[in-house]
A and B are shown apart, each in its own frame.
Chain A
Amino acid sequence: MLKLYEAQLTSRLLLGTARYPSPAILTAAVRASGAQVVTVSLRRESAGERAGQGFWSIVQNWVRDLGVRVLPNTAGCHSVKEAVTTAHMGREVFNTSWVKLEVIGEDDTLQPDVFGLAEAARILCAEGFAVFPYTTEDLIVAERLLEAGCRVLMPWGSPIGSGRGLNNLFGLKALRARYPEVPLVVDAGIGVPSHAAQALELGFDAVLINTAVSQARDPIAMAGAFAQAVIAGRAAYRAGPMEPRELAAPSTPLIGQAFLP
């Protein structure tokens, strides 16, 4: 059972909702993924098109039919003020105190501005938000986020949308070892199910996937593949993986082998 703030979850796969070919495929992918948490965003609404109203009713259907929880993000925010204002707006529109906090520092890597992130986290935690900070594997940043009041951390695997998997294994392992009791969700850069399985095998509590599913040729099938990978990874972690070795160790016993010169 995965516990993120007050939510008790059975699925360790969180799903982003961006860049799908169509709303129908998105809905089917959410269903196929088994995800119980989906991220959403806020964008300008046109009075004429009212696209946001359409998406809002789709989201409400998921909440009603699938029991998913909504996690609004502050995607695209570069400053503390922008992120905090966006969080306030997300809380009002989505009626939740959950927020995936992104304070972006640089547009090629979309890496977090960790200083702004810690400051925004401090402000939002004090206001009662349940903050899910999108961060790096940096241990000191993690410490500041926890001091600010975050009870979940979301370290990146690799840059958003890059599909490169877990880039800094040493750093991620160090983060996992430093905070064994903190729910850690690997978010960003996962490309294929084996990346997700690897994250779970390393002891991470969950993964958040978006582009790897939405930009697959068959997003619905890929969502199902990720669901299986996360289950396998977690089961492997619980089963206690073997220790790797430098050199071979025969698996078939030598005793009783025939002498056949």
Chain B
Amino acid sequence: MRILVNGASREVRAADLSAALEELGYGGAVIATAVNGEFVPAAERGAARLAEDDELEVLASMQGG
């Protein structure tokens, strides 16, 4: 299915967020995720089903003031 990942259109086969992150190459990364504007805690990623056109944000630590 096609979803948006950090604003870019991507094709993923995985049906849940945890598997999708692996598929997208985020395995092992320290990240935080939100789907359609809602925070999805790491512990709930396996249970979070993805749907066509979902908007996924994958964030990590960055410099900031």
Contact = CB atoms under 8 A, between A and B. Distances in A.
Interface of A: 16-20, 26, 39-48, 50-53, 55-56, 59, 72-73, 75, 81, 85, 88-90, 92-94, 160-161, 208, 210-211
B57 A44 contact: yes
A31 B39 CA distance: 34
A258 to B, nearest CB: 59
A55 B29 CA distance: 12
Contact of B6 (A46, A59, A211): A46
Interface residues on B, range: 20 to 34
Given A44-B6, A53-B60, A93 B32 contact: yes
Interface in B30-63: 30-34, 37-39, 41-42, 57-63
B39 A55 contact: no
Nearest to A20: B63
A92 B42 contact: yes
Contacts of A52: 29-31, 59-62
Contacts of B24: 47
B44 to A, nearest CB: 11
B40 to A, nearest CB: 9
B65 A16 contact: yes
Given A90-B32, A92-B32, A42 B37 contact: no
Given A43-B62, A52-B29, 18 more contacts: A16-B65, A17-B63, A20-B63, A42-B59, A42-B60, A43-B60, A44-B58, A46-B6, A47-B24, A51-B62, A53-B60, A55-B63, A56-B30, A73-B64, A75-B64, A85-B34, A88-B41, A93-B31
